[in-house]
Amino acid sequence: MGLFDKFKKTEKAETRMTHNLGGCIITRSLYEGTSTLKWIFREEPANPVDNGWRALGDTDTQEYINVTENNLVVDFDRLVEIEPAVLAIYDMPVGTDLEFDSERMVFIDSKTGEEYR
């Protein structure tokens, strides 16, 4: 079960469709600024407004993300506000799995080690 499916069972979602980039799931820690972007991956979209992107913060643990309330559906624009570098990877395909190195401002493919700037 994807995070989007888990979230659909709750009652709230924040959306701000200003550029029509679709909805994504980010952790509450990213949204609130208590962590910085560390991992981002793209799943098959759960519905027509979902773009499939999922973003996790550097302090997020498996236990943390397993709590539905710690995952928020937001417009991709909100993630861009948090970390503008994500615009560079927006068009990458489903199955993309990246780690973000914020010091070097580079995304690293978790499978191949290839870097994307």
- How confident is the model over 33-63, as pLDDT tens digits? 999 999 999 999 999 999 999 999 999 999 9
Give 48: exposed, middle or buried? Use CB within 10 Å, 0-12, 13-18, 19+.
exposed
Which has more confidence, 117 or 44? 44
Q: Tell me how crowded residue 26 is: count the other CB atoms within 10 A of its CB.
A: 27
Give the closest residue to 71 by CA, choosing from 38, 24, 116: 24
| Domain-wise residue ranges, the chain | 3-116
Give the closest residue to 83 by CA, choosing from 36, 39, 29: 36
Run of H or E residues at 32 = helix 28-32
Greatest CA separation for the chain? 39
- How confident is the model over 6-21, as pLDDT tens digits? 444 433 444 443 468 9
In terms of pTM, does the model score above 0.85?
Answer: no
- How confident is the model over 75-109, as pLDDT tens digits? 999 999 999 999 999 999 999 999 999 999 999 99
